[in-house]
Amino acid sequence: MGNRGARAGLAAVTVILASAGLLGQSHPSKPGARTAAPDLTGVWRRARRAPDKTRQYTVYELAGILPSPAPPMTSWAEEKYKAAKPNIGPRGVPVAESNDPVNNCAPPGVPRIYTSRLGAPFEIIQVPGRVIMLFEYDHFIRQIYTDGRKHPEDVNPSWMGDSVGHWEGDTLVVDTIGFNDKTWIDSDGHPHSDQLHVVERIHRTSHDTMIDDMTIEDPKAYTKPWVSRSVFELKAGWSLMEYVCEDSDTFNDMEKLTESGK
């Protein structure tokens, strides 16, 4: 993946925003309160090595699971989990037998979008009042509003949820609700309900490293919050490639990787 294909449209957007002086700024919640927000812009990809750098992640760790184990499930979630047929990991079945929603090109949802396609890269663009995540995986877009707005009182359930954020020092705190119950949390088949609530604390620990401390709450599915940390690496010079689920991937390559033990 060292020789990335350029996407002219995204590059043009970035150039325009940069020339207008809009990148890396926050939208003021009060007149005259404009301040520069910490800069998260760039193309990021999930780290390929464990935090201690002593080993590389396996395919299952990269594409299948969050870094920390799931908390105890409720009986409702246990039933859903047992019915899930992933095509990766210790419970994996052949792709033809799997009922993984993404095998039919359904959106992966949050947080699974971060692990989709072996943790495919995504780009962060900041404009006043908004942080935008552009995902290479099937061109998904996540908009995080930082202009002081609240979640709608009657939010419509969606695949990626409704996200609002604010800055606490150098940390972007993202609160997401309003999910439907059609996605899995990970490729192992852990379910969630429409009560899913995800809070992320995203910040750079260095120029090339970004941390996402995530708390997943769903009282219908889990007996306590699921706390996890993901590490992302800045990929300077990368541009997002075109990737369309319907004609770019039949998931057979993923199955071959899994069966090979890589």
What is the domain-level CATH number for residue 228? 2.40.128.20
Residue 3 counted as domain residue: no
Which residues lie closer than 8 Å to 200 by C-beta, 6 or more apart? 172, 173, 174, 176, 212, 213, 214, 215
Span 4-8, mean pLDDT? 45
Is residue 1 assigned to a domain?
Answer: no
User: Quick check: is 222 in a domain?
Assistant: yes
Residue 2 lies in a domain: no
CA distances from 232 to 60, 115, 171, 211, 226 (A): 17, 11, 15, 6, 19
Q: What are residue 133's DSSP bridge partners?
A: 124, 142
pLDDT value of position 56: 86
pLDDT confidence band for 247 (50 / 70 / 90) = low
User: Is 89 inside any structural domain?
Assistant: yes
Q: Is residue 21 part of a domain?
A: yes
Grouping H, G, I as helix, E, B as strand and the rest as coil, residue 110 is coil
pLDDT (tens digit, 9 = 90+) per residue, 74-118? 999 999 999 999 998 899 999 999 999 999 899 999 999 999 888
Neighbours of 33 (CB within 10 A): 9
CA dihedral 195, 66, 146, 120 (to 10 degrees): -120
Any domain includes 175: yes
Whole-structure pTM value: 0.81
Q: Does a structural domain hold residue 62?
A: yes
> Which domain covers residue 69, as residue numbers?
8-260
Token pair in block for residue 207? 């120029």
- pLDDT the model gives residue 243: 87
Mean pLDDT rounded to a whole number for the chain: 84
pLDDT in tens, 119-150: 899 999 999 999 999 999 999 999 999 999 99
pLDDT confidence of residue 29 = 40
Q: Which of 58-62, 87-91, 175-179, 247-251 has the lowest mean pLDDT?
A: 247-251
Q: What is the DSSP letter of 221?
A: T
Q: How many domains does the chain have?
A: 1
Both structure tokens of 148: 């002081």
Please report the pLDDT score of residue 119 as a whole number: 84
- CB count, 10 Å around CB of 32? 5
Q: State residue 189's pLDDT score.
A: 96
pLDDT score at 245: 84
